[in-house]
């Protein structure tokens, strides 16, 4: 395997791996929101990126701050000699402020970097290449980094390893992520053990495992609790080809096994400051997965809309949960809101058949993606906002003079109503390789703000009406692919061995 291929594998997995319902009551009179679209653009190259599942099926990390700052990465105009990115441009981590990109830079040298998380006080966690070549893997090394007060801090690695990545940081400056040690492991995509770390006060600590060879830390809250996943032994299961993988909560110096819903794979997708964890877990037989909630005492199956699979993507501090679940006969997957023990469908944008809810704020405003088919093909994707019991296609806020032709995915929404996501410029066929990060900012049309648009400003763009389409027939082979997509956030298959 050549250097370029290994580099892309590391980038891909470290980006994301190391990624008859009740009717909701109307919330008063409907008032159409007004938003101003900001295309955050790039740093001189063709694309900008958000830390999220590369397949687009999982929620993004906490990349939107309460103050409206967005973090991610953007291509520069500098050619990348290692082609770590498919377009062979060096990419740098960025942080937006008032709609303008600020280049966070990278470690010294011609290096790429990526921001995965921003805290409410503006601390940013991610990774950077360090100009060295990993002597064990033969690829450019990446190290976990923390951006603080305009400076980049290399968090390094431990246990003799050469690779690390920071996925989360809280306002106390505690950082969580993953690193590689030097111990061979047949279940690792790198051939070496992947381990979870906590970095605080300049020291990186191995959090251990639940009994198996590997563990990964993905989320952290303000109390310093960490959520991730760990093998519980080294015995591969017949249906998956890998050992049992359980979600964990690390708290008060201990790693707690959250268990599964009966299967041998469970994965966290989000955690709040109360220590509640949501995600997806295989059920008995490992052929299907259900969304789950860890409420602090037990794991709860959130169920589906009669189908066989679903996933929980995000939750707010009150414990309201969003995700997607299949309808009866597993033909269609619809966005859901789980509240007070009730799973409710949010439907789709008018004319679409499938949807997935990716983010929710304290006001229960929900964002996500709706699409004509459950393939979620790029040119069929519509970023949405759900509020006041209606789903709005965010493309209604796309001004005529925009460099973007379509808003495909909305990932996060903060309590000020600011939204981040991905859009595509003309000629782009894949939002994850040539798209631009966008931000939608609430605005007041009466103040004469330029490009401030409401839902009724656009003509001929579907919005408002929410519909359910449970009778579309999807062939069995496509249903199987969709099940795989539900398990793809961390590249752990539901039925086949880990790749």
The pLDDT assigned to 455 comes to: 67
Question: Rounded CA gap, 199 and 189, in Å?
Answer: 24
Phi, psi of 389 (to 5 degrees): 65, 30
Residue 110: count of CB within 10 angstroms of its CB: 14
Question: Rounded CA gap, 380 and 364, in Å?
Answer: 26
Question: Rounded CA gap, 340 and 190, in Å?
Answer: 42
Say how many residues make up the chain. 499
The DSSP secondary-structure symbol of 478 reads H
Give which of 145, 235, 192 is closest to 13, Cα–Cα. Answer: 192
The pLDDT assigned to 58 comes to: 60
**What is each CA distance from 40 to 113, 346, 420, 440, 452, in whole angstroms?**
17, 29, 10, 10, 16
For tokens 């694309």, name the residue. Answer: 47
Give which of 456, 449, 478 is closest to 333, Cα–Cα. Answer: 478
CB neighbour class for 284 (10 Å; exposed up to 12, middle 13-18, buried from 19):
exposed
The DSSP secondary-structure symbol of 223 reads T
pLDDT in tens, the chain (499 residues): 333 322 333 333 343 333 333 333 333 445 689 999 999 999 999 999 998 643 334 667 899 999 999 999 999 999 998 888 889 999 999 999 888 999 999 999 999 999 999 999 999 999 999 999 999 999 999 999 999 999 999 999 999 999 999 999 999 999 999 999 999 999 999 999 999 999 999 999 999 999 999 999 999 999 999 999 999 999 999 999 999 999 999 999 999 999 999 999 999 999 999 999 999 999 999 999 999 999 999 999 999 999 999 999 999 999 999 999 999 988 899 999 999 999 999 999 999 999 999 999 999 999 999 999 999 999 999 999 999 999 999 999 999 999 999 999 999 999 999 999 999 999 999 998 899 999 999 998 777 788 899 866 543 333 333 433 333 333 333 333 333 332 232 222 222 222 2
DSSP 425-460: -TT---HHHH-EEEEEEE--GGGT-TTEEETTSSSS
Record the tokens describing residue 219, joined without a space.
């989320």
For CA atoms 392, 116, 93, 188, give the dihedral sign: negative
Question: Rounded CA gap, 245 and 233, in Å?
Answer: 8
Q: Are 211 and 221 in contact (CB under 8 A)?
A: no
Query: For 482, how many CA atoms within 13 A lie in the half-sphere containing its CB?
Result: 28
The DSSP secondary-structure symbol of 398 reads -
The pLDDT assigned to 27 comes to: 37
For tokens 């303008």, name the residue. Answer: 100
For the CA atoms of 91, 92, 93, 96, the dihedral, rounded to the nearest 10 degrees, stands at -100
Say how many Å lie between the first and final Cα of the chain, rounded.
Answer: 14
Q: Are 436 and 425 in contact (CB under 8 A)?
A: yes
Q: Are 458 and 396 in contact (CB under 8 A)?
A: yes
For CA atoms 141, 146, 150, 151, give the dihedral sign: negative
Residue 160: count of CB within 10 angstroms of its CB: 10
Q: Where are the domains of the chain?
A: 14-19+61-206, 305-468
Strands 89-97 and 100-105: antiparallel
Question: Rounded CA gap, 370 and 347, in Å?
Answer: 9
**What is each CA distance from 458 to 5, 43, 157, in whole angstroms?**
44, 30, 51
Sheet architecture: strand order including 175-184: 164-169, 175-184, 192-200, 203-206
Question: Rounded CA gap, 246 and 256, in Å?
Answer: 10
Q: Are 53 and 110 in contact (CB under 8 A)?
A: no
Give which of 316, 401, 396, 418 is closest to 357, Cα–Cα. Answer: 316
CB neighbour class for 99 (10 Å; exposed up to 12, middle 13-18, buried from 19):
middle
Residue 416: left if φ>0, alpha if ψ -120 to 50, beta else—which one?
A: alpha
């Amino acid at each position: 395997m050549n250097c370029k291929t290994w580099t892309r594998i590391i980038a891909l997995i470290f980006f994301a791996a190391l990624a008859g319902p009740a009717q909701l009551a109307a919330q008063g009179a409907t008032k159409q929101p007004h938003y101003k679209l900001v295309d955050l653009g790039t740093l001189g190259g063709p694309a900008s990126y958000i830390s999220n599942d590369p397949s687009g099926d999982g929620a993004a990390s906490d990349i939107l701050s309460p103050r409206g700052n967005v973090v991610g990465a953007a291509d520069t105009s500098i050619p990348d000699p290692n082609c770590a990115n498919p377009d062979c441009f060096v990419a740098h981590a960025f942080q937006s402020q008032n709609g303008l990109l600020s280049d966070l830079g990278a470690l010294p040298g011609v290096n790429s970097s990526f921001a995965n998380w921003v805290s409410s006080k503006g601390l940013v966690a991610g990774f950077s290449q360090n100009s060295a070549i990993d002597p064990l893997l033969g690829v450019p090394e990446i190290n976990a980094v923390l951006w603080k007060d305009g400076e980049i801090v290399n968090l390094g690695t431990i246990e003799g390893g050469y690779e690390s990545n920071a996925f989360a940081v809280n306002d106390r400056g505690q950082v969580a992520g993953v690193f590689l040690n030097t111990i061979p492991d047949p279940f690792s995509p790198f051939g070496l053990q992947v381990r979870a770390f906590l970095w605080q006060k300049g020291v990186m600590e191995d959090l251990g495992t639940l009994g198996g060879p590997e563990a990964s830390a993905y989320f952290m809250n303000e109390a310093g609790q960490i959520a991730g996943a760990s093998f519980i032994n080294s015995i591969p299961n017949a249906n998956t080809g890998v050992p049992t993988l359980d979600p964990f909560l690390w708290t008060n110096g201990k790693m707690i096994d959250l268990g599964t819903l009966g299967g041998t794979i469970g994965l966290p997708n989000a955690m709040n400051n109360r220590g509640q964890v949501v995600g997806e877990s295989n059920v008995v037989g490992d052929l299907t997965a259900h969304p789950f909630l860890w409420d602090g005492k037990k794991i709860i199956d959130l169920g589906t809309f009669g189908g066989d699979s679903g996933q929980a993507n995000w939750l707010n501090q009150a414990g309201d949960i969003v995700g997607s679940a299949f309808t009866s006969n597993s033909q269609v997957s619809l966005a859901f809101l789980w509240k007070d023990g009730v799973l409710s469908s949010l439907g789709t944008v008018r004319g679409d058949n499938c949807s997935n809810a990716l983010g929710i704020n304290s006001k229960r405003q929900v964002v996500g993606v709706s699409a004509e088919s459950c393939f979620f093909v790029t040119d069929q994707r519509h970023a949405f906002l759900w509020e006041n019991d209606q789903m709005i296609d965010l493309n209604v806020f796309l001004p005529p003079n925009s460099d973007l032709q379509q808003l495909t995915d909305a990932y996060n929404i903060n309590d000020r109503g600011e939204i981040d996501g991905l859009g595509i410029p003309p000629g782009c066929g894949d939002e994850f390789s040539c798209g631009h990060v966008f931000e939608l900012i609430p605005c007041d049309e009466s103040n004469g703000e330029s490009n401030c648009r409401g839902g009724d400003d656009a003509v001929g763009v579907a919005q408002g009406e929410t519909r359910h389409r449970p009778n579309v027939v999807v062939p069995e082979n496509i249903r199987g692919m969709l099940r795989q997509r539900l398990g793809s956030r961390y590249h752990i298959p539901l039925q086949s061995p880990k790749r």
